[in-house]
Structure 1
């Protein structure tokens, strides 16, 4: 059963572009993970400060395996840390992980 993981990240408006840049720099890093089905970074269109990182997984076990993988650890280090440089400042002030299963939808999307 497909599971949806949503990381709700609180990002002050002045840091939004940097968050998008950091995600773009890691584009495709999770694509080859077993059970991975898709990814979206959702930017707020109103005055909210919560960006949503939405991933789809074949099942909970696939998601948990990715969390424990070297690819996850590598992808969640900063660009400069990977290059041996100085650690940049965080752009987010808070995040929380939400977990869902697909309960219904359009044909081909459930």
Structure 2
């Protein structure tokens, strides 16, 4: 069964737009990875500054391969003017890991 990785990003209000634009500009970066199943960027509505980056993978090995390859390369690139990397939009990050033990989808028409 699949695994889920949720990256909890603490994002100050003044950095929300920056974070969302950065994710939008990376469209397709994870979707073409072997074993990738799903992605969602969840914006907080109330009571927290934490965004949730939800990814679902076929297995732990697929996630690890993406982390050590495409994701690592993406985070090492991306230079701003003057050759400096842009400042992170998040002030903190925590990774949660889950195994999918039950699932359901919409009814098939």
Band the TM-score falls in, shorter-chain normalisation: 0.7 to 0.9
Query: Residues 20, 78 of structure 1: CA spacing in aligned structure 2 closer, same or farther, 3 A cutoff?
Result: farther
**Which residue number corresponds to residue 62 of structure 1?**
62
Deviation at residue 50 of structure 1 after TM alignment: 0.3
Q: How many residues align?
A: 106
CA contact (8 A) 1:78 1:88 kept: no
- How does the TM-score come out when normalised to structure 2? 0.87
1:23-64 deviation per Cα after TM superposition (whole angstroms, max 9, x unaligned): 111111011111000110000011310000000000011111
Deviation at residue 84 of structure 1 after TM alignment: 7.4
Distance 2:77 2:45 in 1: 26
**Which residue number corresponds to residue 76 of structure 2?**
77
Let me know the Cα RMSD of the aligned residues. Answer: 1.9
Gaps of 5+ in 2: none
Name segments (4+ residues, structure 1) moved above 3 Å: none
- How does the TM-score come out when normalised to structure 1? 0.86
Q: Give the match's secondary structure for 1:5.
A: strand
